[in-house]
Amino acid sequence: MQRNRHFKTIISSLVVLTLLFSCKKKTSDEPIPNPPGNGSNPVSLNDSIFTITKDIYLWTDDLPDSAAFKPDSYSSPYDMFEALIKKKPLDRYSFIDDGSTSRALQEGIVGDKGFEVGWQTDSTLFVIYVYAGSPADKKGIKRGWQLTNVNGTTKFVNGKTSNDLLTEAIYYNNSATFGFKKPDGTIVQPSTLTSAEYKLNPILYSKLYDFNGTKIGYFVFNNFVALADVKTQVDSIFDSFAAAGAKQLIIDLRYNGGGLVETAEYLANRLVPASKNNTVMYTQTFNSNVSNNKFSPLFKNMKALPYFPNYYWADIFYSEATTYKTANFAKQGGWEPTKVSFLVTYSTVSASELLYNNLKPVMNTKLIGTTTYGKPVGFIDIPLGQNDLFAVSFQTKNSQGQGDYFNGLTPEIKAEDDYSYDWGSFNDPLLKAALLDNGVPASSLGRMARLTNETRLVTTSNNRLQSTRFKGMFHARR
């Protein structure tokens, strides 16, 4: 699909760990320069955020008026905004940050240690993934390694004490020491790992499987970063699958928290059958203010600074709700897999759910794993001084009008995640379930070891440090 947009759409619950910092930073309380035609006094940041949210918020009818809410009575924009969105219990997505989110997604630049861990049981932690080129990758750390030492601590219990220790060491502290145990039992002695900037590469693994002539592509995709940053790699992988004669594809989105919609659209256009070209991919719905171009004087006169000084935010929102209300498929490439399997968990959010939801009505798909997070709504990113506002402003639905999965998408085949296996292992329950569903004989995959139900924690929604995540879908600048 080719669009002449002024900005890119982003759906995100990014699991880029440096964004933890941006969600915690104190915002500037400086007033925003007065918009044209709004009098001579500057408008406070609290009041500006409130007014703009009332204009664009998808559930604006659930918000109180300014006189009743008194936005300037709150000590900070964060406190004010959190109190405001609590008026809509369904909203677990909206947030304010310092611009780090857009930078990470659109520029692909992050600054952290480059790995994440999760609770396999109540007392064991494993590396979930490692980003290529990150400090952790340069240390040789791999998915499936057990974390055994953090700054000298060697015993962990799932709870506040251990989670606080992990959060500080992995996400907040610039440097920390970590020790590991490899799957073969080899001990990796503690060494210092220091956060650093690196280019985010969301492709964690890819492989072509050939089971006696049955060829299946496998692709682990962890973030929907800007299309320009990943298109060449995606094309190379998909073209190699096509050249080898693969007819089935397994897309692993189990930890993918979302990102740019343009990238989700491109993946959909690479996979959709050519017969569905120019048919509806999805539609997006805004509130009546946006759809009818009825905004407050503050927002109507607010230029899209600093990125689009020749445009007004009101015009951008209105065009999204009208001109770009419907997105159609535009087939890319010649490969047409006959079936696409999606591997998902509770950590599968936003653009990941959108990709599956858009393809489900038009081709043979299968959802495998555990129930996803549930986020069919999104934002348009609005800079306000030193802050970016992400207030839920639209909802997406596929060509069959399906898009109310606020409680998540339920898999057709249930399989539990297991952090102790590296990518591509046939002992990985999700991958094994997908291969079996694609017709691979169990005898070709070997036996699978299992943890007891009494000790298994990886199946729960709180097995990862979920407090370090934010959830969101938003339209962001080019």
Assess whether pLDDT exceeds 90 at residue 19: no
Please check whether residue 165 lies inside any domain of the structure.
Answer: yes
Question: 264 with 351: CB under 8 angstroms?
Answer: yes
Q: 221: pLDDT confidence band, cut at 50, 70 and 90?
A: very high
**Which range among 39-43, 152-156, 226-230, 328-332 shows the weakest confidence by mean pLDDT?**
39-43
Q: What is the mean pLDDT of residues 316-341?
A: 96
In this structure, are 267 and 151 located in the same domain?
A: no
Q: What is the pLDDT of residue 448?
A: 52
Contact 430, 417 (CB under 8 A): yes
> Quick one: pLDDT at residue 103?
66
For residue 41, what pLDDT is reported? 58
365 contact partners, CB below 8 Å, separation of at least 6: 339, 340, 341, 342, 356, 359
pLDDT band at 452 (very low <50, low <70, confident <90, very high): very low
* Per-residue pLDDT at 54: 98
What is the arithmetic mean of pLDDT over 137-155? Answer: 98
Strands, DSSP E only, in 57-133?
Answer: 95-97, 109-112, 115-119, 125-130
Q: Which of 26-30, 127-131, 382-386 has the highest mean pLDDT?
A: 127-131
Q: State which H helix or E strand residue 83 sits in.
A: helix 77-85
pLDDT of residue 446: 82
- Domain shared by 351 and 423, yes or no: yes
Residue 464 within any structural domain of the chain: no
Query: What are the tokens at 157?
Result: 């219990």
pLDDT at 101: 74
Same domain, 177 and 193: yes
Domain that residue 169 falls in: 109-199
pLDDT of residue 393: 94
Indicate whether 265 and 403 sit together in one domain.
Answer: yes
Domain membership of residue 125 (yes or no) is: yes
Task: Give the whole-angstrom CA distance, residue 152 versus residue 135.
Answer: 20
Question: Poorest-confidence range of 241-250, 361-370, 447-456?
Answer: 447-456
Q: Using CA atoms, how far apart are residues 444 and 363, in angstroms rounded to an integer?
A: 27
Gap between the Cα atoms of 342 and 353, Å rounded = 10
377-389 mean pLDDT? 87
pLDDT tens per residue across span 263-308: 999 999 999 999 999 999 999 999 999 999 999 999 999 999 877 8
d(C-alpha 402, C-alpha 282), whole Å: 9
Lowest mean pLDDT across 39-53, 54-68, 346-360, 397-411: 39-53
pLDDT tens profile 249-275: 999 999 999 988 899 999 999 999 999
Nearest to 15 by CA among 234, 230, 378, 258: 258
pLDDT (0 to 100) of residue 49: 96
Classify residue 12: in a domain, yes or no. Answer: no
pLDDT score, position 99: 74
Q: Do residue 371 and residue 409 come from a single domain?
A: yes
Whether 2 is in a domain gets the answer no
One domain for residues 240 and 366: yes
* Mean pLDDT on 214-242: 96
Q: Which among 148, 164, 199 is the end of a domain?
A: 199
Judgement on whether residues 217 and 240 belong to the same structural domain of the protein: yes
Per-residue CA distances from 172 to 112, 292, 468, 470 (Å)? 9, 44, 10, 16
Domain count, the chain: 2
Same domain, 277 and 337: yes
Average pLDDT, the chain: 86
Domain-terminating residue out of 199, 226, 253: 199
> Is residue 11 very low, low, confident or very high in pLDDT (cuts 50, 70, 90)?
very low
Residue 302 within a domain: no
Q: Which residue has the higher pLDDT, 28 or 316?
A: 316
**pLDDT confidence bin for 8, thresholds 50/70/90:** very low
- Indicate if the pLDDT at residue 473 is higher than 70: no
- Residue 177 pairs with which residues in a beta bridge? 192
300: in domain: no
Q: Which of 151, 184, 199 is the last residue of a domain?
A: 199
pLDDT at 23 over 90: no
Spatial contact of 460 and 3, defined as CB atoms under 8 Å apart? no
Query: In this structure, what CATH number is given to the domain that contains residue 128?
Result: 2.30.42.10
- Do the Cβ atoms of 343 and 431 come closer than 8 Å? yes
Residue 454 reports pLDDT greater than 80 = no
- What is the C-alpha separation between 151 and 165, in angstroms, rounded? 9
pLDDT band at residue 212, thresholds of 50, 70 and 90?
A: very high
Of 237-251, 400-414, 418-432, 434-448, least confident by mean pLDDT is 434-448
In-domain check, residue 98? no
The confidence score (pLDDT) of residue 108 equals: 75
**What pLDDT, on the 0 to 100 scale, is given for residue 33?**
43
Q: Scanning the structure block, which residue is given the tokens 């015993």? A: 155
CATH of the domain at 218: 3.90.226.10
- pLDDT score recorded for residue 260: 86
355 shares a domain with 280: yes
DSSP assignment, residue 464?
Answer: B
Looking at the structure, tell me whether residues 121 and 168 fall in a common domain.
Answer: yes
137-151, 172-186, 369-383, 427-441: which range is least confident on average? 369-383
264 lies in the same domain as 354: yes
Indicate whether 214 and 162 sit together in one domain: no
3-state helix, strand, coil in the chain (%, to 5): 30, 25, 45
In the chain, the percentage of residues whose pLDDT exceeds 70 is 83
pTM: 0.88
